[in-house]
Structure 1
Amino acid sequence: MNFIRNNAGGIGICAIIALPCWFLGQAFPIVGGPVFAILAGMAIALLWKPRARGTLQKGIGFTAKKVLQYAVILLGFGLNLIQIAQVGAMSLPIICSTIATALIVAFLMSKALHMPSDISTLIGVGSSICGGSAIAATAPVINAKDEDVAQAISVIFLFNVVAALVFPTLGNLLGMSNDGFGLFAGTAVNDTSSVTAAAAAWDGMHPGSNALDHATIVKLTRTLAIIPITLVLALLQVRKAKRAAEDAGSAGVSMVASDASASEVAGDSSNAVANSNNSAATTASDSSATRQTGGKQLGNFSLKRAFPMFILWFVVASIITTIAVAAGADAAVFDPLKTLSKFFICMAMAAIGLNTDIVKLVKSGGKPILMGFVCWICIAAVSLGMQALLGLW
């Protein structure tokens, strides 16, 4: 009852915002419901500040974090691992190459542009894997701020639209085959909705082609990269936390020793003992408080706590789908869960939009857009280059 009382209002507000955005996304798939939702949330936030929301803010925060994780879990019901293994295996070299390219480019540009690591990570995984879904899976693992998520989603959306509009014509100019364009769209376009939009446009230009089916399977294969990427990021978080804990512990010991030494020099050994005891007590108190709050100051994380459990359930959902389809079940049985996943993402994006300062977002948008552009160009170039190298063009 306490949970309902504290969160129902905020969750309901996010659902109300997400509902029309969901239908807009159906009408304009090149944009997609999540983008409409995050834009709507940011527009509302201009007038409705967090202080004015009162108890509703708890539910909004829950939607931005937990509902987002539930959306990723349900996303697993759209993955038939056997089908992906059979059809998507040929695309693995290109998928691995494009993912590695995007992550390396994002890392190098974050250093060159002096950008925060969280926004760089989100843009890197969003560009390389599957747009909004990858950002949704990664954000909780690295404890990204809502503003960083909104920034990354906005950047990914911009180049999704450009790709969906430009790539079919580019494919024609390059003389690509139907399967070749499906592979190109599945590896070089970020978000699933934009992949399908680009491939559908190609099929419209080439009656009888099946680029849409090919692109979709390649994209689903690419989506599986969410699993290793998030696990690696979780391990890096643990490593960073342990290092912070060691540094904090060393600093505490040094402070105690310094206090004692200074007091002894002054000839006041009793004060040295008192100061030493007080410093040690303070250090112990801080450590205890960090343990109780789960804070990151001392990095008191364990692998068990840092492991993104929702990714494990995502894998379980994929396995359930695979076993059920192999046993003769119709894959369409899972369509309602896939639809619910997409609606949950719309709700979460609405919540993130409500927690985002759009003015600050616009002012700080230059560097993330540049990073997204360079990642996008590099991914497209590597996808085309690898196809030519492997003779798949």
Structure 2
Amino acid sequence: MKHRLAVNQKQLGFIYGALMVFCMFPFISPAIALFIGIGLSLVGLKHKKITNYTSFALKASIVLMGFGMSLTQVVSVSKTGFIDTAISVISVMIVGYFLARLMRIEGKIGTLISAGTAICGGSAIAAVASIVNPKNYQISFSLIVIFILNALALVLFPLIGHYFNLSQEIFGQWAAIAIHDTSSVVGAGATYGPEALQVATTVKLIRALWIIPLSLLIAFVQTDKSQGKVKIPWFILFFVVSIIIAYLFPAGETLYSGLSWMGKKGMVIALFLIGSNISVKEAQEAGLKSFIYGILLWIFIGVSSFQLLTM
């Protein structure tokens, strides 16, 4: 029996290794990787050791992606985009907190979905998850909500923009503030027009940087109850360092591009590992309320930011 279990684990190790290599291909998106992992979980194929590296993969990926952040570009548009992004991030987190309490949503799911809605979808959820230590089903459920809403936004936002005859600049700002993941922001902006794409991309960079203060704030709020100590998210500080290094030493642009690519692919692999380690029973416990919660937050940021930008 033990021999059979050892063989099975070796076979699983090969399967996991092959799928992680598969996740490196450009046509495998974070959402696809997550669902591949969930598929393994559904058929009972869980590797007991590999999934222990999920947290490290998340943190390392975030640090590496920092090399792809253009601090110069962020600063150049900060005068027009900083206030709008600050208002949106703070308001979403506040509304999300009270809405989660009103709807009796699990605290960690509420925090993850709020962070994903307020900042940059899957990346924000990954960063916050590394601090609050949620269960795998809580991360997976939050990501699924965000990915579904991203797909809808990619189709709906350009249609709404054309219906209301929004300028490319206004649409770019709206997409950057109200759509979760960077990929969907870029996709919606590109669909609407070249100026919309440029504005959306730069404003989204500013919004993404809110991962830093939000993560630090959550770390101070989520203290170790047994010892009363603050758990410092060191990986966020390394994330800042990677951005600064890329800014101070521009000659290494080719290297930074490669490191950023590794970070993005590492995030895809991390989401695959998260999906492969969920419990269907626990995921069902999250319930329809959590999904409705994510939709309501998305509607809030979409409508409020639209009104703010078109006043």
Please say whether Structure 1 and Structure 2 have the same fold, judged by a TM-score greater than 0.5.
Answer: yes
Q: Deviations over 1:238-280 (max 9, x none)?
A: 2xx3xx4xxxxxxxxxxxxxxxxxxxxxxxxxxxxxxxxxxxx
Alignment correspondent of 1:95: 85
Residue 211 (structure 1) aligned with residue 196 (structure 2): yes
Alignment correspondent of 1:59: 50
CA distance in 1, matches of 2:190, 2:254: 21
Residue in structure 2 matching 1:45, options 4, 24, 41: 41
Alignment correspondent of 1:187: 177
Gap change, CA 1:354 and 1:172, over 3 Å in 2: same
Deviation at 1:45, TM superposition (A): 0.9
**Is the Cα–Cα contact under 8 Å of residues 20 and 269 in structure 2 kept in the other structure?**
yes
Deviation at 1:197, TM superposition (A): 1.1
**Is the Cα–Cα contact under 8 Å of residues 99 and 128 in structure 1 kept in the other structure?**
yes
Deviation at 1:99, TM superposition (A): 1.1
Residue 367 (structure 1) aligned with residue 293 (structure 2): no
Gap change, CA 1:22 and 1:213, over 3 Å in 2: farther
Residue 154 (structure 1) aligned with residue 144 (structure 2): yes
Q: Which amino acid aligns with 1:114?
A: R
Alignment correspondent of 2:240: 315
Deviation at 1:12, TM superposition (A): 7.0
Gap change, CA 1:362 and 1:193, over 3 Å in 2: farther
**Is the Cα–Cα contact under 8 Å of residues 146 and 355 in structure 1 kept in the other structure?**
yes
**Is the Cα–Cα contact under 8 Å of residues 74 and 341 in structure 1 kept in the other structure?**
yes
Residue in structure 2 matching 1:175, options 140, 165, 187: 165
CA distance in 2, matches of 1:343, 1:179: 31
Alignment correspondent of 2:22: 20
CA distance in 1, matches of 2:97, 2:14: 38
Q: Which amino acid aligns with 1:320?
A: I
Alignment correspondent of 2:7: none
Q: Which amino acid aligns with 1:302?
A: K
CA distance in 2, matches of 1:102, 1:163: 17
Q: Which amino acid aligns with 1:117?
A: G
**Is the Cα–Cα contact under 8 Å of residues 55 and 130 in structure 2 kept in the other structure?**
yes
Alignment correspondent of 1:228: 213
Gap change, CA 1:86 and 1:22, over 3 Å in 2: same
**Is the Cα–Cα contact under 8 Å of residues 179 and 211 in structure 1 kept in the other structure?**
yes
User: After TM superposition, what 4+ stretches of structure 1 lie above 6 angstroms from structure 2?
Assistant: 8-12
Deviation at 1:307, TM superposition (A): 0.3
Gap change, CA 1:185 and 1:9, over 3 Å in 2: farther
Deviation at 1:61, TM superposition (A): 1.4
CA distance in 1, matches of 2:301, 2:199: 19
What is the count of residue pairs matched by the alignment?
303
CA distance in 2, matches of 1:12, 1:218: 42
Alignment of 1:302-381 (within 5 A): 302-303=229-230, 306-325=231-250, 329=251, 331-358=253-280, 360-362=282-284, 364-381=286-303
Q: Deviations over 1:13-36 (max 9, x none)?
A: 55532343443xx44xxxx61111
Residue 138 (structure 1) aligned with residue 60 (structure 2): no
Deviation at 1:333, TM superposition (A): 4.1
CA distance in 2, matches of 1:128, 1:11: 37
CA distance in 1, matches of 2:50, 2:204: 33
Q: Which amino acid aligns with 2:229?
A: S
Deviation at 1:353, TM superposition (A): 0.7
Deviation at 1:342, TM superposition (A): 1.0
Q: Which amino acid aligns with 2:205?
A: L
Alignment correspondent of 1:69: 59
Listed as ranges, the gaps of 5+ residues in structure 1 are 1-7, 204-208, 245-298
The TM-score normalised by the length of structure 2 is 0.91
Gap change, CA 1:113 and 1:61, over 3 Å in 2: same
Query: Bigger shift: 120-129 or 39-48?
Result: 39-48
CA distance in 2, matches of 1:45, 1:196: 32
Gap change, CA 1:10 and 1:179, over 3 Å in 2: farther
Q: Which amino acid aligns with 2:235?
A: F
Gap change, CA 1:72 and 1:386, over 3 Å in 2: same
CA distance in 2, matches of 1:15, 1:105: 41
Gap change, CA 1:118 and 1:14, over 3 Å in 2: farther
Q: Which amino acid aligns with 1:374?
A: L
Three-state SS of the structure 1 residue aligned to 2:222 is helix
The TM-score normalised by the length of structure 1 is 0.72
**Is the Cα–Cα contact under 8 Å of residues 136 and 277 in structure 2 kept in the other structure?**
yes
Gap change, CA 1:15 and 1:182, over 3 Å in 2: farther
Alignment correspondent of 2:102: 112
CA distance in 2, matches of 1:338, 1:11: 27
Same amino acid, percent of matched pairs = 31
Deviation at 1:115, TM superposition (A): 1.4
